[in-house]
Amino acid sequence: MSLDVNLHAEVYSANITHNLGKMAEEAGIYKALWRPEEIDCHYARDLIEILSDGLVKLTADPDHYKKFDSPNGWGMYIHFVPFVSKYLAACIANPDALIYVSR
């Protein structure tokens, strides 16, 4: 017999508008960001390759992805790329962190 105790601390938190959903889908990272449980991603380490690949796509062709900028200004490429980059860095720094998203 044993006793297991766990303290879960928030190591990263960020927020981005749903208006970027189409851009995320086009970059292949929508489910990784908004619905990670649907693609069996439960830990930060599960997102690293997906986000990395998506970030490469986003930065390789900015003009293509800027087509998905929200007309009202809430959901822009210039905000999304840093969001993905910072989230990826947090996943790399904390690979064992549990993912929790609120939609």
- Cα separation values, 51 from 5, 7, 32, 61, Å: 31, 27, 7, 16
pLDDT of 2 above 90 = no
pLDDT at 6: 66
- Cα separation values, 48 from 13, 67, 93, Å: 16, 26, 10
Annotated domain spans of the chain: 19-93
pLDDT of 93 above 80 = yes
CB 99 within 8 A of CB 31: no
Tens of pLDDT along 17-72?
999 999 999 999 999 999 999 999 999 999 999 999 999 999 999 999 999 999 99
pLDDT band at 9 (very low <50, low <70, confident <90, very high): confident
Q: Which amino acid is at 60?
A: A
